């Protein structure tokens, strides 16, 4: 029985060309890119070339008087934390922050810390499909928040959020918007300028790049506090990893070269999996099925089953999936995202208890999907007989 990996929202394996690019950069023996000598300048040129290519791929403004800035970070969590702290500052007491009810733990966890430090945090609700309710935003904007943070695509349900529309509502009030695009970059086109946001988070290991590197796009001219301190004037001080920067650049270039094909194929495979499951199991429903969704993410509620028992049984059967965000995998509590959808009338308690996430990658095959569907349905039938 071959293992089937359907947890690509947690992480993806680097593509061979990415691994080779990193290996070649390691073999080149680059110096510290902050050093002033020629070996250091050589390393810095490679980092800056990678930075420029990645920023351009994401629709950032790379020229002009105030070009957008790409901070190279350790990944999505650091980028999200940095985004919130950058605008709220080192002494945030008395400030106000707006986030959605479906954010990643790296946003919600930091927001809870900020609340303990005196920041007022408002949470935008979602509708029954898991889409942020823009009609609730004007009332919150009237309270003059310092920042609004809403993810671009949900990591659990795959439901896409109306971030461009939200940013357009915020801009007349002078309120910057941050979006966590971690699950969207490398899966669908992302245009930083067209979105109209001030900050955007992404990370390489979600689109078959190396682990340990991500990015935070920052609008040109935006006044922001650094998260770390070290090199004078640096927004993100520390020794840049030339090798990881090269690997992330290669990963995003590979996606660009086959973006349309990858998206169409993953969407077809996702639909194939969902159709096979729901056709055979009348108690299974697809969460967010009526909304626009990411092509590679499927959250299926197996009503009447326990999500953790199902996930463990699937793991034993060689199907790797998730009961929610990998960053909250140690929790036995129901997903806040699904609870928010349930509060809007979109999910029953039984659906929330039985929801499992399947997520596809660039190398997922139709044969794997068909095999996975058979294993999933077989296990569901066995578990239901025990109920």
Active site residues per annotation? 327
Which tokens go with 28?
């080149």
User: What is the SS3 string spanning the chain?
Assistant: CCCEECECCCCCCCCHHHHHHHHHHHHHCCCCCCCCCHHHHHHHHHHHHHHHHHHHHCCCCCCCCCCCEEEEECCHHHHHHHHHHHHHCCCCCCCEEEEECCCCHHHHHHHHHHHHCCCEEEEECECCCCCECHHHHHHHHCCCCCEEECCCECCCCCEECCHHHHHHHHHHHCCCEEEECCCCCCCCCCCHHHHCCCEEEEEHHHCCCCCCCEEEEECCCCCCCCCCCCCCCCCCCCCCCHHHHHHHHHHHHHHHHCHHHHHHHHHHHHHHHHHHHHHHCCCEEECCCCCCECCCEEEEEECCCCHHHHHHHHHHCCEECECCCHHHCCCCCCCHHHHHHHHCCCCCHHHHHCEEEEECCCCCCHHHHHHHHHHHHHHHHHHHHHC
How many other CB atoms are there within 10 angstroms of residue 70's CB atom? 25
Q: Closest by alpha carbon to 100, among 337, 362, 385? A: 337
Terminal alpha carbon distance of the chain:
27
Sign of CA dihedral 311, 315, 318, 323: positive
Which residue is listed with tokens 């992302």?
190
């Amino acid at each position: 029985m071959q293992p089937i990996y359907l947890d690509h929202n947690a992480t993806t394996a680097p593509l061979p060309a990415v691994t080779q690019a990193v290996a070649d950069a390691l073999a080149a023996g680059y110096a510290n890119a902050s050093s002033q000598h020629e070996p250091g300048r050589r390393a810095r040129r490679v980092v800056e070339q990678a930075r420029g290519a990645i920023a351009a791929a994401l629709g950032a403004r790379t020229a002009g008087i105030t070009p957008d800035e790409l901070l190279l970070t350790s990944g999505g969590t650091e980028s999200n934390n940095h985004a919130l702290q950058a605008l709220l500052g080192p002494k945030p007491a008395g400030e106000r922050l707006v986030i959605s009810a479906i954010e990643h733990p790296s946003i919600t966890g930091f927001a809870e810390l900020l609340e303990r430090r005196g920041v007022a945090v408002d949470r935008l609700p979602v509708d029954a499909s898991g889409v942020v309710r823009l009609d609730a935003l004007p009332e919150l904007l009237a309270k003059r928040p310092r920042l609004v943070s809403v993810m671009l695509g949900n990591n659990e349900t795959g439901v896409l959020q109306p971030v461009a529309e939200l940013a357009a509502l915020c801009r007349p009030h002078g309120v910057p918007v941050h979006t966590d695009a971690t699950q969207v970059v490398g899966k669908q086109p992302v245009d930083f300028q067209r979105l109209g946001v001030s900050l955007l988070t992404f990370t390489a290991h979600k689109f078959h790049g190396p682990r340990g590197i991500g990015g935070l796009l920052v609008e040109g001219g935006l006044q922001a506090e650094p998260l770390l301190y070290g090199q004078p004037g640096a927004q993100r001080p520390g020794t840049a990893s030339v090798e990881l920067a090269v690997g992330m650049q290669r990963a995003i270039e590979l996606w660009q070269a086959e973006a349309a094909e990858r998206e169409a194929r993953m969407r077809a495979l996702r639909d194939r999996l969902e159709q096979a499951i729901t056709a055979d199991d009348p108690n299974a429903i697809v969460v967010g099925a009526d909304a626009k969704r990411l092509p590679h993410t499927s959250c299926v509620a197996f009503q009447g089953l326990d999500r953790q028992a199902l996930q463990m049984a699937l793991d034993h059967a060689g199907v790797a999936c998730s009961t929610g965000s990998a960053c909250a995998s140690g929790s036995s509590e129901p997903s806040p995202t699904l609870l928010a959808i349930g509060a809007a009338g979109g999910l029953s308690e039984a659906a929330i208890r039985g929801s499992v996430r399947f997520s596809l990658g660039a190398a997922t095959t139709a044969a794997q999907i068909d095999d996975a569907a058979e294993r999933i349905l077989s296990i569901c039938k066995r578990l239901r007989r025990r109920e």
